[in-house]
Amino acid sequence: MKKYEIAVIPGDGIGKEVVPAAVKVLHTLADVHGGIRFEFTEFPWSCEYYLEHGNMMPDDGLQILQGFDAIFLGAIGNPKLVPDHISLWGILIKIRRSFEQVINIRPAKYFRGLQSPLVNPNDFDLIVVRENSEGEYSEIGGRIHQGEDEIAIQSAVFTRKGTERAMRYAFELARKRRGHVTSATKSNGIYHSMPFWDKIFNEVKQDYPDVETASYHIDALTAFFVTRPQIFDVIVASNLFGDILTDVGGAIMGSIGIAPAANINLNGKYPSMFEPVHGSAPDICGKGIANPIGQIWTGKMMLDHFGENELGEKLLDVIEDVTADGIKTPDIGGKATTKEVTEEICRRLKRL
């Protein structure tokens, strides 16, 4: 019996609703499989925890997490209690950076039973590899003066190591898929970092002559996500570009509520972290109607990471069947609750 020890951080808002749903599905999946077992340990780190302790997680939080095989996280953020930049940097970005989760992968594909807002979604199936350790999301900069003279300076950081690493990951991934990598650039408008990005991309692609490539400026690329997403296979993007692009990816699937994501540690020194693209959705929190699919599909990415790909594929098939049969939460045009969708997925898994 293979055992996976997983740290669970439901976080805030609907994270507390969709994480228990996904945990239930994963337990069911393990039962059906028979040869694996999940051991989940839950941590209450959140904005409420911050109000009580003055910290999003305890001082030894990272040491505690380090011993787990993976971290399964819901969403962080409750702007009514804690400013977003404090909650986000206090835990999410802290974990991503400290645990060297240098790659963020986010798939988007045409999903059976979902109403894509696109007239012709044409079976698109793409995956964004987002550089997750540097780029535009840096602490370098500062603010000075008040009033009319007030200034903010924010520096972006692009290293050869970080850039190349993300690109190589994208090329390796493309080899396992349809063999195409698109680079998201903006070397016309951004004077230093993006020409550097292009240079590294041109270097790295020499090592993958079997993989086809394209390079688009991020503005045009974002538009192509809407007008012809089926031309893409793997897209490699900087931290900010990848973040924005993947919300569009979620939107063209039909809802951000189904979009999954994984923060991958490549050197094996620390656990990877699995969290859906969406946030804590304060507008629907507590109503029991949050879509659990983003969190459950994120669980599938965790299974892939553990090498349980076959099990993951089965899970995704069942989710698509349930959606195609109309058992859907309101964000994707249905009337079902979080609980009903979760129970239906579990019921069908048990039938496998």
Residues that bind Mg ion (CB under 5 A): 243
**Interface residue with ligand NAI, options 10, 294, 299, 312 (CB under 6 A):** 294
256 binds, among Mg ion, ligand NAI, none (CB under 5 to 8 A by kind): ligand NAI
- Nearest-5° angle of CA 332, CA 337, CA 338? 90
Q: Which helix (H) or strand (E) holds 346?
A: helix 338-351
Q: Is 316 in the site for ligand NAI (CB under 6 A)?
A: no
Q: Is 290 in the site for ligand NAI (CB under 6 A)?
A: yes
In the complex, minimum distance from the CB of residue 65 to ligand NAI, in angstroms, rounded to a whole number? 16
In the complex, minimum distance from the CB of residue 249 to ligand NAI, in angstroms, rounded to a whole number? 13
Q: Is 331 in the site for ligand NAI (CB under 6 A)?
A: yes
Q: Is 280 in the site for ligand NAI (CB under 6 A)?
A: yes
Residue 264 backbone phi and psi in degrees, to 5:
-105, 130
Q: Is 10 in the site for ligand NAI (CB under 6 A)?
A: no
260 binds, among ligand NAI, Mg ion, none (CB under 5 to 8 A by kind): none
Amino acid in the structure at residue 220: A
- Kindly report the number of other CB atoms within 10 A of residue 172's CB atom: 14
CA 94 – CA 302 distance, rounded (Å): 20
User: Is 65 in contact with 58 (CB distance < 8 Å)?
Assistant: no
Total number of residues that touch ligand NAI (CB under 6 A):
24
**Closest-CA residue to 245 (of 213, 277, 274):** 277
For residue 264, give Cα distances in angstroms to 84, 294, 349.
Answer: 23, 17, 27
In the complex, minimum distance from the CB of residue 136 to Mg ion, in angstroms, rounded to a whole number? 13
Question: Site mask, ligand NAI, residues 145-184, x = CB under 6 A?
Answer: ----------------------------------------
In the complex, minimum distance from the CB of residue 233 to ligand NAI, in angstroms, rounded to a whole number? 25
Question: If you write DSSP's letter for every residue of 137-186 in order, what string do you get?
Answer: ----EEEE--GGG-EEEE--B--HHHHHHHHHHHHHHHHHTTSEEEEEE-
**Interface residue with ligand NAI, options 275, 304, 340, 343 (CB under 6 A):** 275
76 binds, among Mg ion, ligand NAI, none (CB under 5 to 8 A by kind): ligand NAI
22 binds, among Mg ion, ligand NAI, none (CB under 5 to 8 A by kind): none
CA 161 – CA 139 distance, rounded (Å): 19
